[in-house]
Amino acid sequence: MRKQIAAANWKMNLSVSEAETLLDQILATEHHLAANQEAIFAVPSIYISLAIQKLAGKNNVYVAAQNCYSKSNGAFTGEISAPMYASVGVKHIVLGHSERREYFGESDAFLAEKTDAVLAIGSTPIFCCGEPLSIREAGSQNSFVETQLKNSLFHLSEEQITKVVIAYEPIWAIGTGKTATSEQAQEIHAYIRSVMASKYGQSIADQISILYGGSVKAANAKEIFSQPDVDGGLVGGASLIATEFAAIINALK
Ligand code: PGA
Residue 49, pLDDT above cutoff 90 = yes
> 175: Cβ below 6 Å to ligand 1?
yes
Please count the other Cβ atoms lying within 10 Å of the Cβ belonging to residue 195: 22
Superfamily of domain 4-250: Aldolase class I (3.20.20.70)
Q: What is the CA radius of gyration of the chain?
A: 17
**Residues in CB range of 209: below 8 A, 6 or more apart:** 2, 3, 4, 5, 165, 166, 231, 232
Active site residue 169: yes
Residue 60 has phi, psi (to 5 degrees) of: 65, 25
Distance in Å, CA 226 to ligand 1 centroid: 19
- For the ranges 36-50, 75-89, 177-191, 227-241, the lowest mean pLDDT is seen at 177-191
Active site residue 30: no
In this prediction, residue 1 has a pLDDT band, given cuts at 50, 70 and 90, of confident
pLDDT on residue 169: 97
Catalytic residue among 99, 106, 131, 169: 169
> 126: Cβ below 6 Å to ligand 1?
no
**How is the chain split into domains, by residue range?**
4-250
Q: Whose CA is nearest to atom 3 of ligand 1?
A: 236
Answering whether pTM is above 0.95, one says yes
Distance in Å, CA 10 to ligand 1 centroid: 9
> 118: Cβ below 6 Å to ligand 1?
no
pLDDT on residue 32: 93
pLDDT in tens, 109-138: 999 999 999 999 999 999 999 999 999 999
With CA atoms as reference, report the closest residue to 114 among 49, 104, 142.
Answer: 104
